[in-house]
Amino acid sequence: MGSTGSVSSWDEALLTAMVQFPAPVIKGPEDIQRQVTEICRTVDTTKAGYPGLDLIVFPEYSTQGLNTAIWTYDEMLLTIDSPEIGQFKEACIRNDVWGVFSLMEVNDDPSLPPYNTAIIINNKGEIALHYRKLQPWVPIEPWAPGNYGMPVCDGPKGAKLAVCICHDGMFPELAREAAYKGCNVYIRISGYSTQVNDQWILTNQSNAWQNLMYTMSVNLAGYDGVFYYFGEGTVCNYDGNVIQQGHRNPWEIVTAELFPRMVDKARENWALENNIFNLGCRAYVGKPGGEKENYLTWVEDLAKGEYKLPWDDKIKIRDGWKYYPDGIKMGPMPKS
C-alpha cells in the first residue's frame, strides 16, 4: 500500500519520506555547514507537514557534495563525532523521527582514503546503524572499500533496516546479505546521474522481489553544472511492484506507508517464490529437507579469496584511469 500524502499512520504502519535533495554545488569546506543547515531545516519542515512521520531519508552526497577535485582533502571530511553530525542528531530528537544521512568519513587510518558512509540516527539522537559503502563506483570514486559489512538494525514499527549506497544496489549479493540478516526495509541512497536511470528502477524492483522486502531508494535531483541527477525516489513492495515513484523534481518528497509485519508474514508463510528460503534447501519436495550443499562456484571462490572471471585477463580498466592519473589527493587542501 502506497501513501498518497498521508500525514498520519496507524500503529503498525511505517510512514516514510525520501527527499530528492538538490544536487549540491560545493566549492570548499565552508559550503558544508550550509548543506547541514538545509538538511536539518528540511527535517523540521517535513515533520511539520507529516506529523506522523517515522523515517526520513536523504540521498548520498547531500552533505558534502560531489566535487571530485576536492572531496578527499581533510577539510572536506567528517567523522561520526563531528559537530555537523551532532546537528543531525538534534534534528531527529527535536522532531521525534529517525533519519538516514550521508557523509564522507575520515578513515580510521588517516593515511588511507576516506569512506563513503551512511548513518541511521534514531529519534533519541543515537546512531542506530553505521555503514560504509562496500562497492564504491569504480573507476571514479576514490573511497576505501567498506569494512563494516552489511549491518542491520531494529527500526520503528517493526522495521529491520539496512542501508546501501548507490552502486551497492547494483549488486544482488548485498541485498541478499541484508535480507539474510533479517532486513525487511532496504534503503538505498544515491548520487547517480542519468546514465543509469533505467537500471536504477530495475534493480530497486529486483532487490525487493528476490528478497521479499521493501526497498526505499532516493537519488539527488537537478543539475550541478556538470551532470543532471534524476531524483526518482522509488518505493517497491516486497512483491517487486513499484508502489511510489518520484519524478525528476528537486525537493520532491516521496512518501510511503509501509507495513514491515507483512514482509515478515510473507517470509514465514509463502511457499511459491519464497526464494530467499529456497536457496538454502533446494528441491525440498523431491528431497525432504532439501539439498543444502553449496553448488555455487563463485561463492566458494570468493570465500577463499580466489574470485576470478574467465575473462579476467582481458579486463582493461583496473585503476583510477583518467580520473586520477596522478593518484588520489589527500591531506590538507592546497593554499590558493
Residues constituting the chain: 336
In three-state secondary structure terms, 240 is: coil
* Cα distance between residue 84 and residue 101, in whole Å: 11
Q: Annotated catalytic, 300?
A: no
Is 166 known to be catalytic? Answer: yes
Phi first, then psi, for residue 39 (nearest 5°) are -65, -45
Active site residue 292: no
CB 229 within 8 A of CB 193: yes
Residue among 92, 153, 166, 183 flagged as catalytic: 166
* Given 47, 89, 133, 160, the catalytic residue: 133
Name, in order, each residue with C-beta under 8 angstroms of 100's C-beta and a sequence gap of 6 or more. 55, 56, 57, 58, 118, 119, 120, 163, 187, 189
Residue 301 sits at φ, ψ, to 5 deg, of: -70, -40
Burial 256-286 (b: 16+ CB within 10 A, else e): bbbbbebbbebbeeeeeeeebeeeeeeeeee
**Of 161, 156, 222, 215, which Cα lies nearest the Cα of 20?**
222
By annotation, the residues acting in catalysis are: 60, 133, 166
